[in-house]
Amino acid sequence: MAVVNMEKKQESKKTRIINMILSVVFALVCVVYVYPIFLIVTNSLKIESAISTNTAFKLPTADTFAGIANYIYGVTKMDFLSSFLYSLFITVSSVVLIILCCSMCAWYISRVNTLASKAMYYLCIFSMVVPFQMVMFTLAKTADTLKLNTPFNICIIYLGFGAGLAVFMFTGFMKSMPLEIEEAAMIDGCSPIQMFFRVVMPITKPTTISTAILETMWVWNDYLLPTLVLDIKKYRTIPMDIQYFRGSYGSVQMAPMMACIVITIIPVILLYLFCQKYIIEGVVAGAVKG
């Protein structure tokens, strides 16, 4: 009995040591990830000359502190508010369309066991592994031909590229849902549309929120697709607008650029902090069955 207790104590001691080592390692990893954001915030409060010299990695001092002057310059000079509104509209419309269409598609795939539904599912999965660079030139031509080159209908293009991940997550979750709930709703007289919006969608809340967060982070930060599709003289999203801080002969206005980057990442960080618990729930729930 004493030997068994001794072995248990040794195992618990090893476990505590391993957990301590892992905590230190992950803490260092967190610091590595947070440090670039810290640099962006501190440099956004400095004057331009302080960033272009070797003081870029130092905290602002009385001589290098610029306050909110960089934020004011970035918002007013580059018409940042207009870009912010375009990015907000594109992100909201695209994510809403992706969630609505892909959840319906996943419900059909998970409930109709036919060759067509299986082919539809694997086509959506296959779209996740196709590099964007393979289709970007034909996409730009197609978008111009179909008049999808404005912020008001670019959401259709985002639906095509975001459908793979969304269908995958929704299908995995809906396959784990008991059919008895839907059968009971059908007996109570629900039509398919009523059943979807009143029964299915409330149950898929964790997957819906986690998918919405992932798609929002992608659309909000996307630079290449709007640059290829939109008319840059009329419409600029935030990533596109930030590039215009580059002047002639390779000069870059680093201070206001950093300020605009801070403004850009704040909405995504806030969204992630408020909804982070749903991300793990949705991903785990969507991976139950596939």
Which phi and psi (to 5°) does residue 189 adopt? Answer: 100, 15
Q: What pLDDT score was predicted for residue 251?
A: 67
| Nearest by Cα to 103 from 9, 268, 226, 215 | 215
CA–CA distance, 54 with 61 (Å, rounded to integer) = 14
Q: What pLDDT score was predicted for residue 99?
A: 94
Whether residue 259 contacts residue 66, with contact meaning beta carbons closer than 8 Å, is answered with no
Q: What pLDDT score was predicted for residue 290?
A: 43
Q: What pLDDT score was predicted for residue 248?
A: 52
Q: What pLDDT score was predicted for residue 95?
A: 94
CA–CA distance, 208 with 170 (Å, rounded to integer) = 8
The segments of the chain whose pLDDT lies below 50 read: 286-290
Global pTM value: 0.81
Q: What pLDDT score was predicted for residue 70?
A: 84
Structure tokens at 18: 């391993």
